Chains A and B, each alone.
Chain A
Amino acid sequence: MIPLMDAVIDVSGLEKRFGRVRALDGLDLSVTQGTVHGFLGPNGAGKSTTIRVLLGLARPDGGRAELFGRDPWKDAVDLHRRIAYVPGDVSLWPNLSGGEAIDLVARLRGGTSDTSAYSARRKRLLDVFQLDPAKKGRAYSKGNRQKVALVAAFATPADLYILDEPTSGLDPLMEAVFDSEIRRVAAEGATVLLSSHILSEVEQLCDRVTIIRSGRTVETGTLDELRHLTRTEVSFRADGVPQDALAQLPSAHDVDVRDGRIRFTADSDALAPVLAELARLDVQGLTVAPPSLEELFLRHYGDDLTQAAPEPEEARR
């Protein structure tokens, strides 16, 4: 059927307009089977709109979107048999208990055909997420509403999990529980699309990352690949290092001498000659900080800030 390395989600040139606003403006996204794929972007970048297109709730104005090789708009019902979804802003029925909502979603997804297996999965998830299922929907806090949606998603096995900022209301303990659930379904071979703006979470969980901004893909690749695009911070003790030696360092940027230490950044893929030179100088207290996704993200946020003014004109074209 579907070869192992095939794309579960295949989106190219996706466009979606709401009135005069271009929510998606040529977005590309490809998620390979069996991977956990991070989907990063600032608020309003188009993450939720993309997910709504993937779920067949919104029809794209241009471009192509495929799920398991099929059209999410036309084949929504069939595709949804293989999908678990957690919305970004979970709302529950005010007068239904959390347990009722979980059971309803499970029944609709066909997860209750094996009753004892389902109730075992449900019980385990309620335990690990420490959720009281007897409360009415309106009585839950934001974090607990999110837990209801997570339990509903994980209680029925799926081929693809689409999670829209699923941890934004969870405390750190629950985030750890969430992480282990993601690792569990990934180990079972499921594919996960994890939209987030929590970078540490994406760094811990994701095999690949796509970063979008203003409805367009700006970076995509494995974490390692993306790190090549960043700079590594190098610092060492300043005493005993001749000042003119610094000028000879290859590809050192943003040199800064402060608190008795010298710091600079270097292109991550051009680090070896720098380190060789530092070894020749016999520097003391050397630290080399690997690039974080934070930095990568900030670079694109930073662009957002500086390009904020011309952006709308671009959008109007």
Chain B
Amino acid sequence: MSTATARLEPAHAHVAASGPSTSAILRALMRQRLRRDRWQLLIWLLSIAALAAFSAASVQQTYASAVGRDQVIRLAIADPTILVLRGLPQGSTLPALIFFEIFTFLALLAGLMNTFLAVRHSRAEEDSGRAELIVSTPAGRLLPTAATVIYAVAVDVVLAIVTALGFLSTGLPVAGSFVAGAAVGGAGLAFFGVGLLLAQVMSTSRGANGYASAVVLAAYLLRGIGDAMGTPFGDGTHLRAAWPSWLSPIGWGEQTAAYTADSWWPILLQVALAAVLVVGVFALQAARDSGAGLVPERAGRATASRSLSGTFGLAWRLQRPVVIGWTVGGALGGLLAGALGSAINSQLASDPNLAGIREAMRRIGAGGSGPLTELFISAILSILGVLAAACAVQSVIRLRQEEQSGTAEVLLATPVSRIQWLFSYVGVGIVAVLAVLLAAAITAGLSAVAAGEDTSMIGHAFAAASAQAPVALVYLGVLTLLFVLLPSWTVAVGWAVLGLGAFVGIFGGLIQLPDWIRHLSPFADAPVVVGDVDWTGGYWMLGITIAALAAAAALIRRRDFAIG
């Protein structure tokens, strides 16, 4: 066989002999990936490990007594909000409580880290045309994908280890810490498969990232619903998840019951899903052209529709998919709030832990008094306020992207004033905020009424949603001003301030952050619409928004427009 080849292709044999081996190519590709990601990856890994360590330490400090832990677990089982945001209670031991408190959030972060990683090294490379450079070398079309898979496995193994070390650093048991770490890494790997598959299917990295993030959030939400619908067993401090949790790789991770049962089999499930997805990826990639998507690029319109006639029409056209996506998210969240809120009211009216539940609600930022269903709806809507703020942040980020790509220059060379251009995107941001909150309010109100609540609940849902509007608008206004003053900071500061603000403002109370840190976040100062109604924070935020937008309007005339 080898002699025949040698005789037929002596010249090629010479080339092949001097070319790099497959393993050498893989090593080079993996080095390139690591080199590119090193800082980003370090920040992700350290943040996740630090969050594990910090929350473990915080729980140890707060719930040192067995009685307190027992109380808080029973409270959680009685309160679906806590279950949605936390996880699946597995008894009242200290390590079990820690796993319950933080695991799903760590898995969510691991999922986002992995989907971004998958798309960054696949579709984004094809988008930019850099992939062609690699495909034209002996690496070919499939080896870069293989390198990305091996690289992701390595990254997730490291993620599992550093997460385990984070837990271990607070003195938790070794076996359980590694099970917990592996469940985080396993969830990450499963979502890596999701990201890589969507990178095959979608024809743009923006689309792949969007859908992959949506899948991660949906997986988080699915297990939230499954946990909230779970049935208690044993001594009443354990919960068996309902079926929706079983649709989610994060839900599988919870089934490890780290520190109590320490099961490894759910991690096999996560890895198996990743393997199946990766096999699918290779099958798809072998069949398609480099650079092409599975969903074919549709031809556009030959002429512009009537609506695309000005800067607002353009801004709306560019942001429309984002606004629709977040609005659907808001509507689903509202549905959850209304339906569950009504359910807990009947369950909890006679619960001995009522005071404790109210306290938990207060910490999420819903006010401390008033009817339970209303409190619950307010609590969920304050989380949906983050979606509205994210939508506002994205409108401002679009301004920056338009300036950076040079498309803004085309518009500003026509008789369009800068203020008109700027405020088109601000206007779309306002529309987006209102759309998300309105969708959440409508579905929350209607689903509560459908579940048997009084029709006044519709009015309350609108009040709770409108309380979130000033928070989202203050993000819109202040970030717009930042875009005018320091354009190159817009994207990084926008997301960082939103993420920190949401975490500190909404979850800060649950992890006992000092009040002065919490109140740095606009989310902590959202108006209270249940019980002791207080709109002070809202008026302040509206005032800040208007001042920031006025300053932005005055200053946009004064700066240069630059590319890059």
Chain A residues near B (Cβ < 8 Å):
52, 55-59, 76-78, 80-81, 83, 85, 87, 89-105, 107-110, 133-136, 138-139, 149, 152, 162
As a 0/1 sequence over residues 523 to 564 of chain B, the CB contacts with chain A under 8 angstroms (1 = contact) are 000000000000000000000000000000000001011110
Residues of A within 8 A of B300 (CB): 95-100, 134-136
A81 to B415, CA, bound (A): 5
Is B417 at the interface (CB under 8 A from chain A)? yes
A299 to chain B minimum Cβ distance, whole angstroms, is 31
Q: List 23 A-B contacts (CB under 8 A).
A: A52-B560, A80-B414, A80-B415, A85-B413, A87-B406, A87-B410, A89-B406, A89-B563, A91-B406, A93-B407, A98-B300, A99-B301, A99-B303, A99-B304, A100-B300, A104-B309, A104-B313, A107-B310, A108-B310, A108-B411, A136-B299, A152-B410, A162-B413
Neighbour of B409 across the interface among A76, A87, A97, A152, CB < 8 A: A87
A97 to B317, CA, bound (A): 12
Interface centre among A58, A78, A100 (most CB of B within 10 A): A100
Is B42 at the interface (CB under 8 A from chain A)? no
A103 to B561, CA, bound (A): 24
B415 touches A91 (CB 8 A): no
Neighbour of B309 across the interface among A87, A107, A162, CB < 8 A: A107
B356 to chain A minimum Cβ distance, whole angstroms, is 50
Residues of A within 8 A of B204 (CB): 94, 138
B413 touches A92 (CB 8 A): no
Closest to A53 in B: B560
A52 to B310, CA, bound (A): 22
Residues of A within 8 A of B558 (CB): 59
Question: Given contacts A59-B560, A136-B297, A138-B204, are A109 and B414 in contact (CB under 8 A)?
Answer: yes
A91 to B297, CA, bound (A): 19
List the 7 closest A-B pairs by CB distance, nearest first. A97-B300, A103-B304, A85-B413, A108-B414, A91-B406, A100-B304, A57-B561
Residues of A within 8 A of B407 (CB): 91-93
Neighbour of B405 across the interface among A76, A91, A109, CB < 8 A: A91
Residues of A within 8 A of B304 (CB): 99-100, 102-104, 107
A152 to B311, CA, bound (A): 16
B301 touches A100 (CB 8 A): yes
As a 0/1 sequence over residues 492 to 509 of chain B, the CB contacts with chain A under 8 angstroms (1 = contact) are 000000000000000000
A90 to B409, CA, bound (A): 10
Residues of A within 8 A of B308 (CB): 96, 100, 103-104, 107
A290 to B447, CA, bound (A): 86
A91 to B402, CA, bound (A): 10
Question: Given contacts A57-B561, A136-B297, are A83 and B413 in contact (CB under 8 A)?
Answer: yes
A89 to B206, CA, bound (A): 22
As a 0/1 sequence over residues 316 to 328 of chain B, the CB contacts with chain A under 8 angstroms (1 = contact) are 0110000000000
A83 to chain B minimum Cβ distance, whole angstroms, is 7
A103 to B204, CA, bound (A): 25
Chain B residues near A (Cβ < 8 Å):
204, 297-305, 308-311, 313-314, 317-318, 405-407, 409-417, 558, 560-563
A52 to B417, CA, bound (A): 15
A105 to B416, CA, bound (A): 10
Question: Given contacts A92-B407, A104-B308, are A58 and B302 in contact (CB under 8 A)?
Answer: no
B415 touches A57 (CB 8 A): no
A57 touches B410 (CB 8 A): no
Residues of A within 8 A of B414 (CB): 80, 105, 108-109
A47 to chain B minimum Cβ distance, whole angstroms, is 14
Inter-chain pairs besides A58-B561, A77-B415, A108-B416, 12 sampled, C-beta below 8 Å = A58-B562, A76-B417, A80-B413, A80-B416, A89-B406, A94-B204, A97-B302, A100-B301, A104-B308, A134-B300, A135-B300, A152-B410
A67 to chain B minimum Cβ distance, whole angstroms, is 12
Question: Given contacts A57-B560, A149-B410, are A109 and B415 in contact (CB under 8 A)?
Answer: yes
B416 touches A77 (CB 8 A): yes
Closest to A137 in B: B300
Closest to A89 in B: B406
Question: Given contacts A57-B560, A103-B308, A104-B309, are A77 and B417 in contact (CB under 8 A)?
Answer: yes
Residues of A within 8 A of B416 (CB): 77, 80, 108
A109 to B204, CA, bound (A): 31
A59 to B412, CA, bound (A): 14
Question: Given contacts A87-B409, A91-B405, A93-B318, are A103 and B303 in contact (CB under 8 A)?
Answer: yes
B47 to chain A minimum Cβ distance, whole angstroms, is 31
Residues of A within 8 A of B412 (CB): 55-57, 76
B383 to chain A minimum Cβ distance, whole angstroms, is 30
A56 to B310, CA, bound (A): 20
Residues of A within 8 A of B413 (CB): 55, 57, 80, 83, 85, 87, 162
Residues of B within 8 A of A101 (CB): 410
Question: Given contacts A103-B304, A107-B304, are A135 and B299 in contact (CB under 8 A)?
Answer: yes
A139 touches B317 (CB 8 A): no
Residues of B within 8 A of A89 (CB): 406, 563
A102 to B301, CA, bound (A): 12
Residues of A within 8 A of B301 (CB): 97, 99-100, 134
A133 touches B409 (CB 8 A): no
Residues of B within 8 A of A57 (CB): 409, 412-413, 560-561
A58 to B405, CA, bound (A): 16
A148 to chain B minimum Cβ distance, whole angstroms, is 10
A105 to B413, CA, bound (A): 9
Neighbour of A105 across the interface among B302, B410, B417, CB < 8 A: B410
A80 to B317, CA, bound (A): 24
Residues of B within 8 A of A133 (CB): 302-303
